[in-house]
Chains A and B, each alone.
Chain A
Protein backbone atom coordinates (compact mmCIF):
# COMPACT_ATOMS: atom_id res chain seq x y z
CA UNK A 1 0.00 0.00 0.00
CA UNK A 2 3.00 2.27 0.41
CA UNK A 3 3.23 2.49 -3.34
CA UNK A 4 -0.17 4.11 -3.39
CA UNK A 5 0.11 6.37 -0.36
CA UNK A 6 0.95 9.43 -2.41
CA UNK A 7 -1.84 8.69 -4.81
CA UNK A 8 -4.28 8.23 -1.93
CA UNK A 9 -3.23 11.58 -0.54
CA UNK A 10 -3.82 13.20 -3.90
CA UNK A 11 -7.24 11.60 -4.15
CA UNK A 12 -8.23 12.84 -0.71
CA UNK A 13 -7.42 16.34 -1.80
CA UNK A 14 -10.25 16.09 -4.29
CA UNK A 15 -13.31 17.58 -2.64
CA UNK A 16 -16.69 16.11 -3.55
CA UNK A 17 -19.16 18.76 -4.52
CA UNK A 18 -21.38 19.75 -1.65
CA UNK A 19 -24.98 18.76 -1.67
CA UNK A 20 -27.37 21.49 -2.60
CA UNK A 21 -29.16 23.32 0.23
CA UNK A 22 -32.43 22.21 -1.30
CA UNK A 23 -31.57 18.62 -0.57
CA UNK A 24 -31.59 19.21 3.16
CA UNK A 25 -34.90 21.02 2.89
CA UNK A 26 -36.41 18.22 0.84
CA UNK A 27 -35.29 15.59 3.32
CA UNK A 28 -36.67 17.66 6.18
CA UNK A 29 -39.98 17.86 4.38
CA UNK A 30 -39.97 14.13 3.66
CA UNK A 31 -39.21 13.24 7.25
CA UNK A 32 -42.04 15.33 8.60
CA UNK A 33 -44.56 14.18 6.01
CA UNK A 34 -46.10 10.83 5.34
CA UNK A 35 -44.39 8.55 2.86
CA UNK A 36 -44.78 10.28 -0.44
CA UNK A 37 -42.27 9.02 -2.88
CA UNK A 38 -43.40 6.65 -5.55
CA UNK A 39 -41.21 3.94 -4.18
CA UNK A 40 -42.49 4.30 -0.65
CA UNK A 41 -46.13 4.47 -1.65
CA UNK A 42 -45.77 1.41 -3.80
CA UNK A 43 -43.98 -0.41 -1.02
CA UNK A 44 -40.81 -0.86 -2.96
CA UNK A 45 -37.73 -1.47 -0.92
CA UNK A 46 -34.14 -1.10 -1.93
CA UNK A 47 -32.33 -4.36 -1.61
CA UNK A 48 -28.96 -4.51 -3.37
CA UNK A 49 -28.76 -8.05 -2.12
CA UNK A 50 -28.39 -6.79 1.42
CA UNK A 51 -31.71 -5.45 2.57
CA UNK A 52 -34.67 -7.76 2.92
CA UNK A 53 -36.83 -7.43 -0.13
CA UNK A 54 -40.56 -6.94 0.17
CA UNK A 55 -42.55 -9.32 -1.88
CA UNK A 56 -45.08 -7.69 -4.14
CA UNK A 57 -47.56 -9.92 -5.84
CA UNK A 58 -47.42 -9.45 -9.56
CA UNK A 59 -48.87 -11.61 -12.23
CA UNK A 60 -46.00 -12.89 -14.28
CA UNK A 61 -47.71 -13.06 -17.63
CA UNK A 62 -44.70 -14.48 -19.37
CA UNK A 63 -44.36 -17.32 -16.87
CA UNK A 64 -48.08 -17.93 -16.92
CA UNK A 65 -48.13 -18.11 -20.71
CA UNK A 66 -45.13 -20.39 -20.73
CA UNK A 67 -46.79 -22.71 -18.24
CA UNK A 68 -50.00 -22.85 -20.22
CA UNK A 69 -48.08 -23.57 -23.42
CA UNK A 70 -46.18 -26.36 -21.71
CA UNK A 71 -49.42 -27.84 -20.42
CA UNK A 72 -50.97 -27.69 -23.89
CA UNK A 73 -47.98 -29.45 -25.43
CA UNK A 74 -48.11 -32.08 -22.71
CA UNK A 75 -51.78 -32.75 -23.35
CA UNK A 76 -51.15 -32.90 -27.09
CA UNK A 77 -48.38 -35.45 -26.66
CA UNK A 78 -50.46 -37.46 -24.23
CA UNK A 79 -53.27 -37.57 -26.76
CA UNK A 80 -50.91 -38.74 -29.48
CA UNK A 81 -49.65 -41.53 -27.26
CA UNK A 82 -53.19 -42.62 -26.55
CA UNK A 83 -54.03 -42.74 -30.23
CA UNK A 84 -50.97 -44.78 -31.11
CA UNK A 85 -50.79 -48.55 -30.52
CA UNK A 86 -49.74 -49.31 -27.04
CA UNK A 87 -46.85 -51.47 -28.16
CA UNK A 88 -44.71 -50.89 -31.19
CA UNK A 89 -43.57 -54.03 -32.92
CA UNK A 90 -40.46 -54.52 -34.93
CA UNK A 91 -40.62 -55.38 -38.62
CA UNK A 92 -39.83 -58.99 -37.93
CA UNK A 93 -42.38 -59.21 -35.22
CA UNK A 94 -44.97 -57.67 -37.48
CA UNK A 95 -44.73 -60.57 -39.95
CA UNK A 96 -48.15 -62.21 -39.97
CA UNK A 97 -48.30 -65.17 -37.73
CA UNK A 98 -49.63 -68.51 -39.05
CA UNK A 99 -53.36 -68.32 -39.30
CA UNK A 100 -55.12 -70.12 -36.58
CA UNK A 101 -58.79 -69.38 -36.51
CA UNK A 102 -60.17 -68.87 -33.12
CA UNK A 103 -62.15 -71.65 -31.74
CA UNK A 104 -65.63 -70.46 -31.12
CA UNK A 105 -66.89 -71.53 -27.85
CA UNK A 106 -70.19 -73.27 -28.50
CA UNK A 107 -72.26 -75.63 -26.48
CA UNK A 108 -74.13 -76.98 -29.49
CA UNK A 109 -73.34 -80.61 -28.71
CA UNK A 110 -75.89 -83.08 -29.87
CA UNK A 111 -76.24 -86.66 -28.57
CA UNK A 112 -74.51 -89.03 -30.97
CA UNK A 113 -75.16 -92.36 -29.33
CA UNK A 114 -74.97 -94.61 -26.39
CA UNK A 115 -73.22 -97.90 -26.07
CA UNK A 116 -73.73 -100.45 -23.35
CA UNK A 117 -71.23 -103.23 -22.85
CA UNK A 118 -72.20 -106.09 -20.47
CA UNK A 119 -69.14 -107.49 -18.90
CA UNK A 120 -70.63 -110.01 -16.57
CA UNK A 121 -74.01 -111.59 -15.85
CA UNK A 122 -74.60 -113.70 -12.84
CA UNK A 123 -77.60 -115.79 -11.92
CA UNK A 124 -78.29 -115.33 -8.26
CA UNK A 125 -81.04 -117.96 -8.03
CA UNK A 126 -84.68 -117.90 -7.05
CA UNK A 127 -86.00 -115.40 -4.72
CA UNK A 128 -89.34 -114.87 -3.13
CA UNK A 129 -90.10 -111.23 -2.88
CA UNK A 130 -92.20 -109.97 0.00
CA UNK A 131 -95.82 -109.71 -0.78
CA UNK A 132 -95.34 -111.65 -4.00
CA UNK A 133 -97.01 -114.89 -4.84
CA UNK A 134 -94.54 -116.03 -7.40
CA UNK A 135 -90.82 -116.66 -7.16
CA UNK A 136 -88.37 -114.69 -9.30
CA UNK A 137 -84.94 -115.34 -10.60
CA UNK A 138 -82.47 -112.62 -9.92
CA UNK A 139 -79.89 -111.84 -12.59
CA UNK A 140 -77.10 -109.34 -11.83
CA UNK A 141 -75.26 -107.75 -14.74
CA UNK A 142 -72.21 -105.49 -14.64
CA UNK A 143 -71.95 -103.16 -17.56
CA UNK A 144 -70.21 -100.03 -18.84
CA UNK A 145 -72.28 -97.46 -20.50
CA UNK A 146 -70.81 -94.83 -22.75
CA UNK A 147 -72.67 -91.71 -23.86
CA UNK A 148 -71.39 -89.68 -26.79
CA UNK A 149 -72.14 -86.16 -28.03
CA UNK A 150 -70.92 -84.51 -31.21
CA UNK A 151 -70.65 -80.91 -32.26
CA UNK A 152 -71.43 -80.83 -35.96
CA UNK A 153 -70.01 -77.33 -36.43
CA UNK A 154 -66.59 -78.05 -35.03
CA UNK A 155 -66.39 -81.79 -35.33
CA UNK A 156 -65.52 -82.18 -31.70
CA UNK A 157 -66.96 -84.96 -29.65
CA UNK A 158 -67.58 -85.61 -26.02
CA UNK A 159 -67.69 -89.02 -24.39
CA UNK A 160 -68.83 -89.93 -20.92
CA UNK A 161 -68.26 -93.50 -19.76
CA UNK A 162 -69.24 -94.99 -16.44
CA UNK A 163 -69.72 -98.51 -14.94
CA UNK A 164 -73.12 -99.73 -13.94
CA UNK A 165 -74.74 -102.69 -12.36
CA UNK A 166 -78.21 -103.93 -13.10
CA UNK A 167 -80.34 -106.47 -11.27
CA UNK A 168 -83.12 -108.12 -13.20
CA UNK A 169 -85.90 -110.13 -11.55
CA UNK A 170 -87.34 -112.70 -13.93
CA UNK A 171 -90.61 -114.34 -12.86
CA UNK A 172 -90.49 -118.09 -12.79
CA UNK A 173 -93.47 -119.81 -14.29
CA UNK A 174 -94.58 -122.77 -12.37
CA UNK A 175 -95.11 -125.99 -14.29
Chain B
Protein backbone atom coordinates (compact mmCIF):
# COMPACT_ATOMS: atom_id res chain seq x y z
CA UNK B 1 0.00 0.00 0.00
CA UNK B 2 1.46 3.32 -1.01
CA UNK B 3 1.08 6.39 1.10
CA UNK B 4 -0.19 9.05 -1.24
CA UNK B 5 0.43 12.18 0.76
CA UNK B 6 -2.70 14.22 0.69
CA UNK B 7 -4.08 16.17 3.58
CA UNK B 8 -7.14 14.00 3.86
CA UNK B 9 -5.14 10.79 3.94
CA UNK B 10 -2.74 11.61 6.67
CA UNK B 11 -5.32 13.46 8.75
CA UNK B 12 -7.67 10.48 8.67
CA UNK B 13 -4.91 8.11 9.58
CA UNK B 14 -3.45 10.32 12.23
CA UNK B 15 -6.74 11.15 13.90
CA UNK B 16 -7.30 7.47 14.51
CA UNK B 17 -3.80 6.79 15.74
CA UNK B 18 -2.86 9.98 17.54
CA UNK B 19 -4.18 9.30 21.08
CA UNK B 20 -2.57 5.87 21.23
CA UNK B 21 0.67 7.11 19.74
CA UNK B 22 0.92 9.99 22.16
CA UNK B 23 0.13 7.68 25.05
CA UNK B 24 2.85 5.30 23.90
CA UNK B 25 5.38 8.11 23.49
CA UNK B 26 4.32 9.40 26.88
CA UNK B 27 5.85 6.28 28.44
CA UNK B 28 9.30 7.61 27.69
CA UNK B 29 8.98 11.25 28.66
CA UNK B 30 7.43 13.17 31.50
CA UNK B 31 5.24 15.65 29.69
CA UNK B 32 2.62 15.49 26.99
CA UNK B 33 4.43 18.19 25.06
CA UNK B 34 7.54 16.03 24.76
CA UNK B 35 5.40 13.07 23.79
CA UNK B 36 3.75 15.07 21.03
CA UNK B 37 7.13 16.17 19.72
CA UNK B 38 8.16 12.56 19.49
CA UNK B 39 4.97 11.55 17.74
CA UNK B 40 5.29 14.38 15.26
CA UNK B 41 8.85 13.48 14.38
CA UNK B 42 8.08 9.77 14.12
CA UNK B 43 4.90 10.13 12.14
CA UNK B 44 6.45 12.53 9.63
CA UNK B 45 9.37 10.20 9.07
CA UNK B 46 7.15 7.18 8.77
CA UNK B 47 4.82 8.89 6.34
CA UNK B 48 7.56 10.35 4.16
CA UNK B 49 9.15 6.95 3.74
CA UNK B 50 5.82 5.73 2.45
CA UNK B 51 5.63 2.79 4.78
CA UNK B 52 2.32 1.00 4.87
CA UNK B 53 0.13 2.53 7.53
CA UNK B 54 -1.04 -0.96 8.31
CA UNK B 55 2.45 -1.82 9.45
CA UNK B 56 1.75 -0.70 12.96
CA UNK B 57 4.67 -2.59 14.44
CA UNK B 58 7.02 -0.46 12.39
CA UNK B 59 5.13 2.72 13.23
CA UNK B 60 5.41 2.10 16.96
CA UNK B 61 9.01 1.04 16.56
CA UNK B 62 9.62 4.40 14.94
CA UNK B 63 7.97 6.22 17.81
CA UNK B 64 9.98 4.26 20.31
CA UNK B 65 13.20 4.87 18.44
CA UNK B 66 12.61 8.58 18.18
CA UNK B 67 11.87 8.67 21.90
CA UNK B 68 15.03 6.78 22.77
CA UNK B 69 17.08 8.89 20.36
CA UNK B 70 15.72 12.00 22.01
CA UNK B 71 16.69 10.72 25.41
CA UNK B 72 20.09 9.63 24.15
CA UNK B 73 20.67 13.02 22.63
CA UNK B 74 19.82 14.73 25.86
CA UNK B 75 21.41 12.44 28.37
CA UNK B 76 23.75 10.13 26.41
CA UNK B 77 22.36 7.38 28.58
CA UNK B 78 19.15 6.60 26.83
CA UNK B 79 18.03 3.44 28.47
CA UNK B 80 19.14 4.33 31.95
CA UNK B 81 17.73 7.77 31.75
CA UNK B 82 14.52 6.52 30.21
CA UNK B 83 14.09 4.14 33.08
CA UNK B 84 14.96 6.82 35.57
CA UNK B 85 12.51 9.19 33.98
CA UNK B 86 9.82 6.56 34.03
CA UNK B 87 10.47 5.83 37.67
CA UNK B 88 9.62 9.39 38.66
CA UNK B 89 6.71 9.63 36.31
CA UNK B 90 4.18 9.53 39.12
CA UNK B 91 4.79 13.20 39.70
CA UNK B 92 4.13 14.18 36.09
CA UNK B 93 0.94 15.03 34.28
CA UNK B 94 -1.68 12.29 33.99
CA UNK B 95 -1.97 10.33 30.78
CA UNK B 96 -5.68 9.59 30.96
CA UNK B 97 -8.94 11.36 31.41
CA UNK B 98 -10.72 10.04 34.49
CA UNK B 99 -14.38 9.63 35.24
CA UNK B 100 -13.94 8.62 38.86
CA UNK B 101 -11.39 7.97 41.54
CA UNK B 102 -11.33 4.28 40.75
CA UNK B 103 -9.98 5.03 37.31
CA UNK B 104 -7.45 7.38 38.81
CA UNK B 105 -6.20 4.58 41.04
CA UNK B 106 -6.03 2.24 38.11
CA UNK B 107 -4.04 4.75 36.10
CA UNK B 108 -1.70 5.21 39.02
CA UNK B 109 -1.24 1.45 39.18
CA UNK B 110 -0.37 1.45 35.50
CA UNK B 111 2.23 4.11 36.15
CA UNK B 112 3.87 1.93 38.75
CA UNK B 113 4.47 -0.94 36.33
CA UNK B 114 7.97 -1.60 35.05
CA UNK B 115 8.57 0.08 31.73
CA UNK B 116 8.94 -3.22 29.84
CA UNK B 117 5.50 -4.31 30.97
CA UNK B 118 3.91 -0.91 30.62
CA UNK B 119 4.85 -0.36 27.00
CA UNK B 120 3.43 -3.77 26.10
CA UNK B 121 0.26 -2.99 28.02
CA UNK B 122 -0.15 0.38 26.32
CA UNK B 123 0.27 -1.11 22.87
CA UNK B 124 -2.10 -3.97 23.60
CA UNK B 125 -4.92 -2.23 25.49
CA UNK B 126 -5.08 1.26 24.03
CA UNK B 127 -3.60 0.67 20.60
CA UNK B 128 -4.94 -2.84 20.02
CA UNK B 129 -1.77 -4.20 18.53
CA UNK B 130 -1.33 -7.94 18.26
CA UNK B 131 1.47 -9.63 20.12
CA UNK B 132 3.22 -10.13 16.80
CA UNK B 133 3.08 -6.40 16.12
CA UNK B 134 4.23 -5.62 19.64
CA UNK B 135 7.11 -8.01 19.21
CA UNK B 136 8.08 -6.27 15.99
CA UNK B 137 7.90 -2.86 17.61
CA UNK B 138 10.02 -3.87 20.59
CA UNK B 139 12.30 -6.27 18.73
CA UNK B 140 11.28 -9.13 20.98
CA UNK B 141 9.52 -12.39 20.32
CA UNK B 142 5.79 -12.73 20.25
CA UNK B 143 5.89 -15.02 23.27
CA UNK B 144 7.96 -12.55 25.22
CA UNK B 145 5.46 -9.84 24.44
CA UNK B 146 2.63 -12.06 25.63
CA UNK B 147 4.50 -12.94 28.79
CA UNK B 148 5.15 -9.30 29.59
CA UNK B 149 1.49 -8.56 29.06
CA UNK B 150 0.45 -11.29 31.46
CA UNK B 151 2.98 -10.15 34.03
CA UNK B 152 1.68 -6.61 33.67
CA UNK B 153 -1.90 -7.66 34.22
CA UNK B 154 -0.96 -9.82 37.18
CA UNK B 155 1.02 -7.02 38.79
CA UNK B 156 -1.72 -4.55 38.01
CA UNK B 157 -4.37 -6.72 39.52
CA UNK B 158 -2.31 -7.26 42.62
CA UNK B 159 -1.40 -3.58 43.03
CA UNK B 160 -4.80 -2.27 42.08
CA UNK B 161 -6.57 -4.50 44.56
CA UNK B 162 -4.05 -3.61 47.23
CA UNK B 163 -4.70 0.08 46.72
CA UNK B 164 -8.47 -0.28 46.66
- By a beta-carbon cutoff of 8 Å, the part of chain A in contact with chain B is 1, 3-4, 7-8, 10-20, 22-24, 26-28, 30-31, 35, 37, 39-40, 44-51
Contact = CB atoms under 8 A, between A and B. Distances in A.
Q: B-side binding surface: helix, strand, loop or mixed?
A: helix
Interface in B123-164: 125-126, 136-139, 150, 153-154, 156-157, 160
B73 to A, nearest CB: 8
Interface residues of B, number: 55
Contact of A18 (B19, B40, B47, B99): B19
A13 B98 CA distance: 9
Interface in B67-101: 68-69, 94-99
Interface of B: 5, 7, 10-11, 14-15, 18-23, 32, 36, 39-45, 47-48, 57-58, 61-62, 64-66, 68-69, 94-99, 103, 106-107, 110, 121, 125-126, 136-139, 150, 153-154, 156-157, 160
A46 B18 contact: no
B137 A50 contact: yes
A45 to B, nearest CB: 8
Contacts of B58: 50-51
B18 A51 contact: no
16 contacts: A3-B157, A10-B103, A12-B126, A13-B99, A16-B22, A17-B32, A17-B95, A19-B39, A22-B36, A23-B39, A27-B14, A27-B40, A31-B10, A45-B65, A46-B68, A50-B65
Nearest to A27: B40
Contact of A14 (B7, B39, B107): B107
A35 B110 CA distance: 36
A111 to B, nearest CB: 94
A30 B97 contact: no
Contacts of A51: 58, 61-62, 65
Nearest to B98: A14
A58 B152 CA distance: 40
Given A16-B97, A30-B44, 9 more contacts: A1-B150, A4-B153, A4-B154, A15-B19, A17-B19, A19-B36, A40-B41, A46-B42, A50-B57
A110 B134 CA distance: 105
Given A31-B48, A50-B139, A7 B156 contact: yes
A159 to B, nearest CB: 92
